[in-house]
Structure 1
Amino acid sequence: MGRSADYTIQGFLYQFNQTLSELLKAADDATITIEGIVEDIEVATFAGIKAIQCKYHETQNNYTPSILYDPLLQMMKHFKSNPGAKIQYHLFAHFPNNPAVNISSNELKRALNSKNKELKDLIAEVDGVDIDGFLKVFAVSVTPKYSDLMEENSKQIEALGFNKGEVETLFYPNAIQIIADLSIKHDEKLRKITKKDFLEILRRIRSTAVSQWTLALKTRYKILETRRKQLKENLNANVRLRHLVIFPKFLEQFDDQIVLFIKSFIDKYHFKVSHTHTPLFSLDAPQELFDEIAERLIGKDVTPNLGRPVKTFSEANFFREPMIQKDKKEFALRFIRWDDYKKLALKTKADDFFVIGDGDIENLDFKDVNLEILGAEKFDEIKYMMGISNAY
């Protein structure tokens, strides 16, 4: 499929919003199956069982099939390159006045014979594709205006008894996140949910989901601002044991920002003598990179406790309290690789456990722990939500 992951994210958000609309209008006991997605087809992060493209035109005066040649060729290229992959291809298209959009073998042949110079290389790569085979796994949907669909869903949520003032920044983004979380499950049985169960889950949530999905919504700024307010009370407390796990995979400028982020956190939340609980940072990184970052922290006068004087890890050494000399602590943080953290037999659980980035935490025990998931991709936004900076 190539191109930008933004198109894919937008396509899935259409899908999630349409699923949400279906859920909200269903009978309480009606079971809705969330259409699944799986990671890593060809686009940066997403794709899978249903490979989606989105062609959205609010200002296009007239619809012509040629407008869709590029995404159609992208999909046919992927289909040709992945024979037997059992992938369904879906094109969401929006144009003013919602014209009928029918894609036949004749339209696909016209796309392959297009004289558009910008499509020349793509057409060459698609040459010889099985058009009839592609049409069997292809579908196109004409969608309503995206903002209209969002507004309709928000009003439906409000009509179901949810607080109007919290719909935009709490219930609507969390509704999208619930659907997104279900969509990544491989087993179709686990992607089924009733309207009644969906609404019960939604009513129990009191913190705004922050992820690649919710931050792609048009309410991005309001979501960040709301999440900042939600985190403020616990972060401002002097005596809180905080564990932070950082997953670098999708974090932008990770290598440039990680040391600055850790130092900024320490400077903000662990600089007083009254800050008696040493924060723990766990990094999902190979040993060589982890050691390099530890050295760079020392270079910034932020001394980490690695739990090993030289090579051998000692849990007793790792969890001892720092010596304090003239108001200066021996070490400012505990620093451990994620693979090693998961093996620890924690005698004391964290008060707050922050997940930064996108990673698997399913096997950890979070009973009696305040779990905060910040799935943003930019450190500036993470620092803003955590009150470390006032801008992003």
Structure 2
Amino acid sequence: MGRSADYTIQGFLYQFNHTLSELLKAADDAVITVEGIVEDIEVATYDGLKAIQCKYHETKKNYTPSILYDPLLQMMKHFKSNPMAKIEYHLFVHFPGDQVVEVTSVHLNGALGSQNKDLQVLIADVAGVDVDGFLKAFSVTVTPKYEDLAKENSDQLEALGFSKAEVETLFYPNAIQIIADLSIKHDANLRKIARRDFLDTLRRIRTTAVSQWTLALKTRHKILDTRRKQLKQNLGANVRLRHLLVFPKFLQCFDDQIVLFIKSYVDKFHFKLVHTQTPLFALDVSEDQLDDIAERLMGKDVVPNLGRPVRAFSEVNFFREPIVQRDKKEFVLRLICLRGYQGLALKTKPDDLFVLGDGELMDLDVKDVNVEVLGAEHFEEMKYIMGISNAY
């Protein structure tokens, strides 16, 4: 994988790739439920329902049936609760090497008789299940390793007419991102997507998603380079109003790096007199944290406007233009807490709204605004993508 992503991320990416594989191979009218209530993936067609679980065990050198007891019990519980439903149960597993994985009635009864304390509630729920009936609806498949599955999906996208030159850095990572975004929705109905709609959405996307998921892909370096090129034109304009929303969650070393990042941004994009549009930074932090960051910025001769000469916030003060004396501006950025930004009545919308880190736009009005979501975890990656630095 692109960087040394831990096995948890690898496991999720394996699941997302299996979902993508199901989407690409399904009929146009098939509806996929990403990470269904019981199963990892559900595929609904006119012929019935396929309930799929994916288990990626890259570190398990020796396969034993007990490794699969939990997903097998989950599936049997679902089978027992839906005796009349037309459901096929599929378990996709990966173990290193050429290990043979077989599931028989002996293995299922072994799961039902397990003494594992963590499984006892589940075992009680499955008591009395028709083991032979479940086996008739069940299959297990040993799958390729993660890299091979990802390559198959890329090849399938090309076969469906997606530009070969853009599959690696645009369509494949965005396909994974669409699935990842669906997977976190709490309502199962919101995690459903039809193959036709999925492909239509994918074809309309022209910017590469940057997130913990896409940057964990093998093509991470190419994704960063591609996103940098996509942003270059707008960031190169002297007169362009930009708002930056910064979410500390998952941003590594936020407290150590945020002041350096803001200064680097100002030094790159707001140092000339022709840079007339004062950038606005909205940070998802408390007022005390914001004041601390403001003090540290001033210590580096980067003067922010907080919209409050003392304590009371004034929107008029916040949006006034800085006094300019020769080549010195009174202040070089506007700085505000995210919750304060959400309450602003913006008379002028930004040209660009950058979302840095892991966060949502909530109810912000972004009509006619160019929204750029950069979900990298490191400020160095963020600076590279935005052209502030030439390395990461």
Give the TM interval when normalised to the shorter protein.
Answer: 0.7 to 0.9
Q: Please name the residue that 1:54 is paired with.
A: 56
SS at match of 1:350: coil
**Greater Rg, structure 1 or structure 2?**
2
Task: Return the letter of the residue paired with 2:342.
Answer: K
Q: Please name the residue that 1:306 is paired with.
A: 306
The 3 A distance-change label for structure 1 pair 313 and 340 is: same
Q: Please name the residue that 1:65 is paired with.
A: 64
Q: CA deviation at 1:92?
A: 4.5
**Does structure 1 retain, via aligned residues, the 8 Å contact 2:18–2:54?**
no
Q: Please name the residue that 1:195 is paired with.
A: 195
**Does structure 1 retain, via aligned residues, the 8 Å contact 2:54–2:92?**
yes
Task: Return the letter of the residue paired with 1:306.
Answer: L
The 3 A distance-change label for structure 1 pair 366 and 157 is: same
**1:93 and 2:94 matched:** yes
The 3 A distance-change label for structure 1 pair 132 and 245 is: same
Cα distance in 2 for partners of 1:55, 1:236 equals 46
Q: How does 1:350-365 map to 2 (within 5 A)?
A: 350-365=350-365
Q: Which runs of 5+ in 2 are unaligned?
A: 38-51, 74-90, 128-137
Q: Please name the residue that 1:47 is paired with.
A: none
Q: Please name the residue that 2:123 is paired with.
A: 132
Q: How does 1:367-386 map to 2 (within 5 A)?
A: 367-386=367-386
Per-residue CA deviation, residues 310-330 of structure 1 (Å, 9 max, x unaligned), is 011111111111111120110
Q: Please name the residue that 2:344 is paired with.
A: 344
The 3 A distance-change label for structure 1 pair 108 and 258 is: farther
The 3 A distance-change label for structure 1 pair 155 and 312 is: same
SS at match of 1:391: coil
Q: Please name the residue that 2:220 is paired with.
A: 220
Cα distance in 1 for partners of 2:348, 2:214 equals 33
**Does structure 2 retain, via aligned residues, the 8 Å contact 1:30–1:194?**
yes
TM-score (norm 2): 0.80
**Does structure 1 retain, via aligned residues, the 8 Å contact 2:352–2:369?**
yes
**1:234 and 2:225 matched:** no
Two-structure CA RMSD over aligned residues (Å): 3.1
**Does structure 1 retain, via aligned residues, the 8 Å contact 2:5–2:216?**
no
SS at match of 1:56: coil
**Does structure 1 retain, via aligned residues, the 8 Å contact 2:31–2:194?**
yes
Q: CA deviation at 1:33?
A: 1.4
The 3 A distance-change label for structure 1 pair 133 and 108 is: closer
**1:145 and 2:136 matched:** no
Per-residue CA deviation, residues 22-71 of structure 1 (Å, 9 max, x unaligned), is 1111111211111159xxxxxxxxxxxx998631159x5xx4329x86x9
Cα distance in 2 for partners of 1:357, 1:220 equals 17
Task: Return the letter of the residue paired with 1:241.
Answer: L
SS at match of 2:285: coil
**Which stretch shifts more, 240-249 or 358-367?**
358-367
The 3 A distance-change label for structure 1 pair 158 and 111 is: farther
Cα distance in 2 for partners of 1:363, 1:346 equals 14
**Does structure 2 retain, via aligned residues, the 8 Å contact 1:36–1:185?**
no
SS at match of 2:281: strand
**Does structure 2 retain, via aligned residues, the 8 Å contact 1:57–1:96?**
no
SS at match of 2:344: coil
Q: Please name the residue that 1:330 is paired with.
A: 330
SS at match of 1:307: coil
The 3 A distance-change label for structure 1 pair 159 and 287 is: same
Task: Return the letter of the residue paired with 1:383.
Answer: K
Q: Please name the residue that 2:268 is paired with.
A: 268
Q: How does 1:244-323 map to 2 (within 5 A)?
A: 244-323=244-323
Q: CA deviation at 1:94?
A: 2.5
The 3 A distance-change label for structure 1 pair 135 and 173 is: farther
Per-residue CA deviation, residues 110-136 of structure 1 (Å, 9 max, x unaligned), is 996xxxxxxxxxxxxx58955724989
**Does structure 1 retain, via aligned residues, the 8 Å contact 2:169–2:219?**
yes
The 3 A distance-change label for structure 1 pair 92 and 354 is: farther
